[in-house]
Amino acid sequence: MPPTTKSELRHRLLARRDALDPETIAHCSARIHRRLFALDVFRRARAVAFFVATRSEVRTLPMIQEALASGRRVVVPRTILEDRSLRLKEIRHPDADLAPGTLGILEPAAGAPEVPVSEVDLFIVPGAVWDRRGYRIGYGGGFYDRLLVQSPDTPRVGLAFELQVVNRLPEQAHDTPVDWLVTERRVYRFSRPGR
C-alpha cells in the first residue's frame, strides 16, 4: 500500500535519497548546479538565499561559491529554535563564515549581518518530497514555510533529485508552491496561484 501521510512520504523518499552513493550525489548535484545557473531568473538575481546541504541533499556549497565569485550577494539561513524561525545572514567566505549550528547544519554565526527578506531576489528552497505542481514536503519543522510567507512575491526555486518527485502531494490551504523545481533530469516550471 503506498504511503498516504506526509510523514510516511517524507520517510520513504528520504530513505531512498539517503541510499544514493556519494558519487551519484556529486554527479547529479553538478547537473542541477548547471541547470540552476542557466535559468533566466537566476541570472537576473543579485541577492540569492541558498540553503546549505546536509546529509544527502543536493550539494549547494559549489553553487554558493560560484554565486559569490560572480559578484552576487549570498544569504544563508540561521535557525532560531526559540521561535522556530530562520534569520537570513549574509556570507562572503563559506569556509570561514559557516559552522555547524543548533541542528548540526552549517549556518552563519549569530553576529553575521542580517538581511531582510525584502532584499532577496531569489530563494533556493530545500525539500524532502516534491510534486509535479511545485508543492513540497519539508523536514517537518515548518521553518521554510514561515520564511517564505514573509516574501510571497519573491521567486523561488526548489532543488531536488528526480527520485524525490511524486505526481501529487496533499496540500493544505497555507501551502505555497515554488516557481521552478530543478532536478538532474529537467527543470519544472510552475504557475503559482495568484501570480
Is 115 in contact with 75 (CB distance < 8 Å)? Answer: yes
Tell me, yes or no, whether 194 lies in a domain.
Answer: no
For residue 180, the domain's CATH number is: 3.40.50.10420
Instruction: Output the average pLDDT for the chain.
Output: 93
In single-letter form, the type of residue at position 143 comes to: F
Is residue 28 in a domain? yes
User: How many structural domains comprise the chain?
Assistant: 1
Residue at 1 is within a domain: no
Give the pLDDT band (50/70/90) at residue 81: confident
Helix H, strand E, coil C: the string for 64-130 is: HHHHHHCCCEEEEEEEECCCCEEEEEEECCHHHHEEECCCCCEEECCCCCECCHHHCCEEEECCCEE
Q: Nearest Cα to 45, choosing from 160, 132, 123, 138? A: 123
Full domain range(s) for residue 37? 6-189
Both ends of the chain: CA-CA distance in Å? 36
CA 118 to chain CA centroid, Å, is: 18
Q: What radius of gyration, in Å, describes the C-alpha atoms of the chain?
A: 16
Is residue 88 in a domain? yes
**The dihedral of CA 121, 78, 182, 189: what is its sign?**
negative
Would residue 153 count as lying in a domain? Answer: yes
What is the distance between the alpha carbons of residues 34 and 136, in angstroms, rounded to a whole number?
Answer: 22
The 10s digit of each residue's pLDDT in 16-54 is 999 999 999 999 999 999 999 999 999 999 999 999 999
What's the confidence (pLDDT) of residue 2? 53
Taking the model in full, what pTM does it have? 0.93
pLDDT in tens, 98-123: 999 978 899 999 899 999 999 999 99
Question: What does the pLDDT read at residue 170?
Answer: 82
Pairing of strands 180-182, 156-159: parallel
Q: Are 46 and 121 in contact (CB under 8 A)?
A: yes
Q: Is position 113 within any domain?
A: yes
What is the average pLDDT across 70-77?
98
